[in-house]
Structure 1
Amino acid sequence: MSLRGQRIVVIGGTSGIGFAVAEAAAREGADVVVASRRQESVGAALKRLPEGAAGHTLDATDEDAVRAFFARVGAFDHLVYTAGESLLMESLADSDLARSRRFLDTRLWGAYSAVKHGAPSIRKGGSVVLTTGSAGRRPMPGMTVAASMCGAMESLTRALALELAPIRVNVVSPGVVRTDLWREMSEEDGSGLFESSAAALPVGRVGTPEDVAEAYLYLMRGGYSTGSVVDVDGGGLLV
């Protein structure tokens, strides 16, 4: 099973896991459309992707913009949603509710809006692949908002798999992956997190965007998975 000749829309596809998905799909011969909030990110991604890839600026929290985006894109085969603000880690006592809502607006409600307006354009045999995280089932202190988002994304995936059938809807759950989503941590704290995580994981290292991208490609290719949560966490849920 191949993605050659299929059209894939990746919202959040200009960096991190999303870019790795777009790049890997393009290598298989897929026609890739990436979208991101910042025009400079879109331009930089298109310089790295194969010729023929398309890019758009999109604020996933703006429903009118999302509706207009899919009207421009037209018919396609697979929707991937990886957009998200940097990871929010703060105690309940120190939490800023406005910031917490913004985090959920992009990661949860942005995905919801993308599926709502994108699903009617998905061709027969197509799919949606969303993104959650291991915090939903293995939270740490300071992850109340992230854990809430992850749990909601898993439930949303199962509900959409039934409501949108026969369009398949699945979600990938990465563990600790070295991406820009950790950029708000200091370099010292980030290095400490990666080192301690690597030491604890059965695989002995933290993940890369390319590691996780393989799960998205598998879910797009495979015609018998829907409502599934695919963990790519180096064994993090085991320890």
Structure 2
Amino acid sequence: MLIEGKKALVFGGTSGIGLAASRLLKQRGATVVAASRDPSKVPAVIAAELKLRPCDVLDAAAVSALCADEAPFDIVVSAATGGGRALGPFLEMGLDGYKGSFDKLWGYANVVQCAVPHLSATGCVVLVSGAPARKPKPGQVALASVGAAVEQMARSIAREVAPRRINVVSPGIIATPMFGSADGTTNSRLNEMTAANAIARPGQPEEVAKGIIFAIENDFVTGTTIDVDGGWLCP
């Protein structure tokens, strides 16, 4: 798909990986609608580049209304976390904490179900999972479970939405607000978490956004997961 001249909806598009994807799509010539729970937090200089819309991906009615209002469009990216993210030993986190992590999956399901009916015939959807889905480390059972569910959801519905495409980009540890790095810089905690990677540093949101662009531009890729993880999966 040629991105120039296309319209893109990016959920979770005002921070971290989602913001990087929004800006890169804009640079490639797309009209970008960046949706998030609180778009007012976006600095004015960045807000001027994008059309900002408030939307909570866990609110199916809000997602449906946004998609209907912005239709038609060609590209949908969802990097929204849904708000839940439990870390730590599984036996200690409690079922509520574990369930809360699946808000990401429910949010993605809302986005796919509401957006695909308005997507152009050659359009595509890109979701964001995470490297623990296939190589979890201690304390990452919730991240692993949710990421694996996201990847299998996309794989399972690829035929259903064809000829439209759906793919997943799986990042490793990225310097974003999620990991306590609001300004995108690295810190000692991030460096420690990535020391064993083949590329022994945290990734940047822009590097993941390039993986998202690949998934959008390559018309022969669907139902798969693209790893942008600095070698997290290496033995």
Q: Do Structure 1 and Structure 2 share a fold, with TM-score over 0.5?
A: yes
1:19 and 1:45 in contact (8 A); partners too: no
2:71 and 2:118 in contact (8 A); partners too: yes
Q: In structure 2, what is the Cα distance between the partners aligned to 1:25 and 1:55?
A: 14
Whether 1:98 aligns to 2:92 is no
Aligned-residue offset at 1:56: 0.8
The percentage of aligned residue pairs carrying the same residue is 34
1:168 and 1:226 in contact (8 A); partners too: yes
Could you say which residue in structure 1 is the equivalent of 2:67? Answer: 70
Report the secondary structure of 1:124's partner residue.
Answer: strand
Q: In structure 2, what is the Cα distance between the partners aligned to 1:65 and 1:39?
A: 15
Moved more, 192-201 or 58-67: 192-201
Could you say which residue in structure 2 is the equivalent of 1:33? Answer: 33
Deviations 1:59-91 (A, max 9, x none): 111111111111111100010000013642121
- CA gap of 1:45–1:156, structure 2 versus 1, over 3 A, is farther
Deviations 1:97-117 (A, max 9, x none): 333323212x10100111001
Q: In structure 2, what is the Cα distance between the partners aligned to 1:131 and 1:63?
A: 19
Aligned-residue offset at 1:22: 0.5
**Alignment coverage as a number of residue pairs:** 230
Stretches of 4+ aligned residues off by more than 3 angstroms: 190-193
Could you say which residue in structure 2 is the equivalent of 1:120? Answer: 117
Could you say which residue in structure 2 is the equivalent of 1:167? Answer: 164
Could you say which residue in structure 1 is the equivalent of 2:143? Answer: 146
- CA gap of 1:100–1:198, structure 2 versus 1, over 3 A, is closer
What does 1:39-50 align with in structure 2 at a 5 Å threshold?
39-41=39-41, 44=42, 47-49=45-47
2:191 and 2:200 in contact (8 A); partners too: no
Q: In structure 2, what is the Cα distance between the partners aligned to 1:222 and 1:86?
A: 32
In structure 2, stretches of 5+ residues that fail to align are: none
- CA gap of 1:45–1:101, structure 2 versus 1, over 3 A, is farther
Could you say which residue in structure 2 is the equivalent of 1:187? Answer: none
Q: In structure 2, what is the Cα distance between the partners aligned to 1:167 and 1:204?
A: 36
2:85 and 2:100 in contact (8 A); partners too: no
Q: In structure 1, what is the Cα distance between the partners aligned to 2:36 and 2:225?
A: 24
Calculate the aligned-residue CA RMSD, in Å: 1.9
Report the secondary structure of 1:18's partner residue.
Answer: helix
In structure 1, stretches of 5+ residues that fail to align are: 185-189
2:198 and 2:232 in contact (8 A); partners too: yes
Letter in 2 for 1:217: I
Q: In structure 2, what is the Cα distance between the partners aligned to 1:171 and 1:46?
A: 30
TM-score (normalised: structure 1): 0.90
Letter in 2 for 1:59: D
Could you say which residue in structure 1 is the equivalent of 2:198? Answer: 202
